[in-house]
């Protein structure tokens, strides 16, 4: 699934997977904690400087801050550019691609839940980003306590993901 064989990675792009709600407070949950730990482990991926910028959704940056992890060059994608609209995979990919293009960056490692990563990569590639799958994302669990029902289990994920992939293909996003 590697689309770019770059010697230098410009960014790590991490897509959130569900979240927990405690009243009005959003908490990252176990899936996003696992994704954040992969990003932190990979931030020194380049053999030579500069190290990659980190482009993440809010839930992952919340983990960095809560755990006081020293993560450099973070770009946070917090909300959809259209008020009150759900921040879906396509919107995250578009905002990440905009950051990449604005900085003249071309290659990114994509970190996401193993069931989600293929669609994330396809969206980024359609937007002109050379995307590399780490291939070791099985450690990111489903979150049985997620506020998003489809991220709670393998069965629920695929129940939603199959028609979602068809919709993304129909829209030309993936």
Contacts of 101 (CB under 8 A, 6+ apart): 128
Q: How many CB atoms lie within 10 A of CB 170?
A: 9
| In the chain, where the domains are located | 11-171
**21-40 mean pLDDT:** 89
Q: Is the confidence at residue 46, as pLDDT, over 90?
A: no
Instruction: Assign domain 11-171 to its CATH architecture.
Output: 3-Layer(aba) Sandwich (3.40)
Q: Is the pLDDT of residue 5 over 80?
A: no
The reported pLDDT for the residue numbered 2 is 41
Summary mean pLDDT of the chain: 90
Region 116-129 average pLDDT: 96
pLDDT, position 171 = 96
Check if the beta carbon of residue 45 is closer than 8 Å to that of residue 10.
Answer: no
Q: What is the mean pLDDT of residues 43-51?
A: 74
Distances (CA, A) of 150 to 88, 115, 116, 158: 13, 11, 11, 8
Q: pLDDT digits over 131-161, tens only?
A: 998 766 788 999 999 999 999 999 999 999 9
Q: What is the mean pLDDT of residues 76-85?
A: 93
What is the arithmetic mean of pLDDT over 75-103? Answer: 95
pLDDT score at 79: 93
Write the CB contacts of 81 (distance below 8 Å, at least 6 apart in sequence). 91, 95
Q: What is the pLDDT of residue 26?
A: 81
Q: Which residue has the higher pLDDT, 50 or 60?
A: 60
Q: Is the peptide bond before 52 cis (omega within 30 degrees of 0)?
A: no
- pLDDT-based confidence at 45, cuts 50/70/90? confident
Q: Using pLDDT thresholds of 50, 70 and 90, give the confidence band for residue 166.
A: very high
pLDDT the model gives residue 7 = 62
């Amino acid at each position: 699934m590697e689309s770019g064989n770059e010697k230098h990675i410009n960014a790590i792009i991490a897509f959130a997977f569900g979240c927990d709600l405690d009243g009005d407070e959003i908490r990252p949950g176990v899936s996003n904690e696992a994704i954040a730990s992969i990003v932190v482990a990979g931030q020194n991926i380049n053999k030579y400087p500069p190290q990659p910028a980190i482009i993440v959704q809010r839930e992952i940056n919340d983990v960095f801050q809560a755990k006081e992890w020293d993560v450099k060059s973070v770009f946070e994608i917090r909300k959809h550019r259209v008020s009150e609209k759900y921040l879906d995979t396509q919107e995250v990919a578009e905002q990440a691609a905009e950051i990449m293009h604005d900085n003249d960056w071309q290659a990114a490692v994509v970190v996401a839940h193993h069931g989600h990563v293929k669609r994330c990569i396809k969206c980024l590639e359609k937007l002109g980003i050379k995307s590399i799958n780490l291939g070791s994302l099985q450690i990111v669990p489903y979150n049985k306590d997620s506020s998003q029902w489809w991220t709670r289990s393998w069965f629920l994920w695929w129940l939603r993901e199959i028609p979602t992939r068809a919709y993304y293909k129909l829209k030309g996003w993936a």
